Chain A
Amino acid sequence: MAVIEIGGASQSGITQRQRWGHYFAVFYAAIALLIGINLRDSSVNAVVAYSNTTAGIRALYPRGWLIDTDGDYVFRVRDLSAGGYKTTIQVAIEPVAPTASSRNIVDALTLARSQRVAAYTPLSRSPISLSDEREALALEYAYVEPGDNVFLSAIPNVVSGLDIIVLQRGQAIIISFLSDSDTYDSNYPVFQRFLDALVF
């Protein structure tokens, strides 16, 4: 690109060529920064598709999380790069009686967990609407996770959990989000995106 300098230096002593040189540099920096933010967003929000035709579930879970389908759940994904407790999203399906209500499911979950984990404490339960207008029940709770290695001198992790319970076709679909209580708020948007994209 050729810039024709008409009149040479201005009153401030800067030539047109120098002025444009600085404008281009600042413009490039702004564009490069936007590219950086875009790269970050596309990497942080990148997802992997999961589909289970038997259970009738399709989901998009965060890229880089470890998927596990071997437990008493449909699938579970964990962020193994997280410090402390590994952030977990889990989808489970439990058969229920036609007359059962969400409250019965909550009571059953509370009983089972109080025997399985330390200091299990239900915090709140509230009815919510999912993005597709379906009614669900949200159950918030916390418990203490001692860690995998009993010989390691470390303070146990306090885990905050959230269950979204939906009753449909004689089944309770339990979508759980578990995170270290220190990072719960910062991790919650990941679960929110997962929930919005979940088809069941």
Chain B
Amino acid sequence: MAVKDTILSVPRQALLDPIREADPANRYRRVWSALTVEVVILFGAAGLVFILVDILRVAPPTALVPVLSVGMVVLPLLLWLLLSVLAERRAIEPRQRLIVVFVITALAANAITLPFIEGVLQPGRWLPLEDAINRIIGYTFSIGIMQETTKYLVLRYTIWQDLLRIRTDAVAYSVASALGYAFALNIQFLIANPGASLDVVALRVVENVALNLVGALFISLGLAETRFSTPSPFFMTIMLALAAFVVGTTQPLQSGLVNAIFSVRGVFDRPLVGFGFTAALFFGVLAMVTFLYSAIERRERDLAKTKDGR
């Protein structure tokens, strides 16, 4: 009785819960949801700007347009910092080099890739005059391959392979790389077109960000599979080629959709068609790559269960 009293008299706060290992799925920040939210907000902001400026004819003060344009260029970066980079701090095992990957890709794009494209490959000098098939091939083997190889090489030499702990690490770092490249593109666009109206800047920012993310998703799939599975040695090459091809195909299609059409009633520009195409492309590729990732992970879990069963 005395023993029982002694035990009961121990203050409740002194009892510690047994140490439980966190669920592996919760040790890392969730990438897909954050990426989706970031892009949805970006598309929403660009759509809002377009409705205000182009449809409702709300004209911001002229002095304010450059500031708002810079804000539009910085918006994807801010969203990513808030929803991805800061969220990493709350994760048990955060991804350490997201900002490093972003900065190195932006610098590489600005210092090497974009000057090389403009100075040597000069797609604007010869591709606009070509027919559709030649334009797709030309853009694939100029802008497409340079853009995706830059991202791939930055990822290969910054995070491979110790920082790839789970498959979605490849996605998180590829998104950082894509945003870095798109940021350099957007800044160059802003410098080259200081008088561009706000809706044009917004649509261009969305287009650059979405197209870079699409390519980066393929690169991430290649890196993740090469790291965690035993695919064909050509798998990374195929993903790189596919990413370049998607970029190469999208460039002429997008400009063809956005450019004004001539008809007997006059000339009509169609920026919303290009905007819709960009959205459909991004969310289509996102759904496809997400499905592939989940199918691969499910297959690995099934294989592990089969092995455990034996």
The residues of B that contact A156 with a CB separation of less than 8 Å are none
The residues of A that contact B137 with a CB separation of less than 8 Å are 39
Interface readout for A26-38 with B: 1 if CB under 8 Å, 0 if not?
1111001101110
Q: Does B254 contact A (CB under 8 A)?
A: no
Q: Quick check: A40 and B236 within 8 Å, CB to CB?
A: no
The residues of B that contact A35 with a CB separation of less than 8 Å are 141
The residues of A that contact B145 with a CB separation of less than 8 Å are 29, 32-33, 36
Which residue of B125, B138, B161, B244 is within 8 Å of A39 (Cβ)? B138
Known interface pairs A25-B240, A28-B240; A64-B129 also in contact (CB < 8 Å):
yes
Interface readout for B97-135 with A: 1 if CB under 8 Å, 0 if not?
000000000000000000000001111011101100010
Q: Quick check: B236 and A24 within 8 Å, CB to CB?
A: yes
Q: How far is the CB of A3 from chain B (nearest CB, A)?
A: 5
Q: Does B235 contact A (CB under 8 A)?
A: yes
Bound-complex Cα distance A29 to B240 (A): 8
Which residue of A21, A33, A40 is within 8 Å of B237 (Cβ)? A21
Known interface pairs A21-B226, A25-B240, A36-B138; A44-B125 also in contact (CB < 8 Å):
yes
Within 8 A of B (CB), among A1-27: 1, 3, 13-15, 17-18, 20-22, 24-27
Within 8 A of A (CB), among B216-244: 222, 226-227, 230-237, 240-241, 244
Number of A-B contacts (CB under 8 A): 82
Known interface pairs A14-B161, A36-B121, A44-B126; A22-B236 also in contact (CB < 8 Å):
yes
The residues of A that contact B244 with a CB separation of less than 8 Å are 32
Bound-complex Cα distance A32 to B227 (A): 24
Count residues on chain A whose CB falls below 8 Å from chain B CBs. 27
Q: Does B90 contact A (CB under 8 A)?
A: no
Q: Does A114 contact B (CB under 8 A)?
A: no
Q: Does B251 contact A (CB under 8 A)?
A: no
Max chain A C-beta neighbours (<10 A), residue from B140, B237, B244: B237
Q: Quick check: B138 and A43 within 8 Å, CB to CB?
A: yes
Within 8 A of B (CB), among A31-68: 32-33, 35-37, 39-40, 43-44, 64
The residues of B that contact A104 with a CB separation of less than 8 Å are none
- A27's nearest neighbour on chain B, judged by CB, is B237
Q: Quick check: A20 and B121 within 8 Å, CB to CB?
A: no
Bound-complex Cα distance A64 to B126 (A): 10
Within 8 A of A (CB), among B185-234: 222, 226-227, 230-234
The residues of B that contact A20 with a CB separation of less than 8 Å are 233
Which residue of B130, B233, B235 is within 8 Å of A43 (Cβ)? B130
Q: Quick check: A37 and B226 within 8 Å, CB to CB?
A: no
The residues of B that contact A22 with a CB separation of less than 8 Å are 156, 226, 236
Q: Does A192 contact B (CB under 8 A)?
A: no
Which residue of A14, A26, A28, A40 is within 8 Å of B142 (Cβ)? A40
Bound-complex Cα distance A29 to B243 (A): 12
The residues of A that contact B140 with a CB separation of less than 8 Å are 32
Q: How far is the CB of B222 from chain A (nearest CB, A)?
A: 8
Q: Quick check: A24 and B129 within 8 Å, CB to CB?
A: no
Q: Does B146 contact A (CB under 8 A)?
A: yes
- A28's nearest neighbour on chain B, judged by CB, is B237
Q: Quick check: A21 and B235 within 8 Å, CB to CB?
A: yes
Q: Does B152 contact A (CB under 8 A)?
A: yes
Bound-complex Cα distance A13 to B163 (A): 13
Q: Does A168 contact B (CB under 8 A)?
A: no
Q: Quick check: A28 and B126 within 8 Å, CB to CB?
A: no
5 residue pairs of the A-B complex, CB under 8 angstroms, read A13-B162, A17-B233, A22-B226, A36-B121, A36-B142
Taking A32-B241, A32-B244 as known contacts, 4 extra A-B pairs with beta carbons closer than 8 A to each other, sorted by chain A number, are A26-B153, A28-B240, A39-B134, A43-B126
Instruction: Using CB atoms and an 8 Å cutoff, list the residues of chain A in contact with chain B.
Output: 1, 3, 13-15, 17-18, 20-22, 24-29, 32-33, 35-37, 39-40, 43-44, 64, 81
6 A-B pairs with least C-beta separation: A36-B141, A20-B233, A43-B126, A29-B149, A32-B145, A36-B142
